[in-house]
Structure 1
């Protein structure tokens, strides 16, 4: 025979599991120190500047070359 399941309890358990999963994501995303966030921001900015500095055409230069 099949196991009897209380739907109310099953819904509550599913909600608890989903809430815990969301909390885990938020802890991973926001649970960092200020120095860690600043360091990651500086690394991202440095990478953006590096890529921008090595582009063949600067943004907006393509209009000038047509004239």
Structure 2
């Protein structure tokens, strides 16, 4: 039973090592693009949350 866990851990470590060997540092252009997309996603999710809160306030008629 414990041999199975040891094998899973060894497999995980070898897969992790393989992934780390092929990764690279993103360029400044790639970093800025990822930051813009993340910021836009945060703004969209926040706006949706605000709209849901406002609709709930109008429907229920109670404050937060």
TM-score band, normalised by the shorter chain? 0.3 to 0.5
Comparing both structures, which one devotes a greater share of its residues to helix? 2
Bigger relative CO (Cα 8 Å, ≥ 6 apart) = 2
TM-score between the two structures when normalised by the length of structure 2: 0.47
Computing the radius of gyration over CA atoms, which structure comes out larger, 1 or 2?
Answer: 1
TM-score normalised according to structure 1 size:
0.46
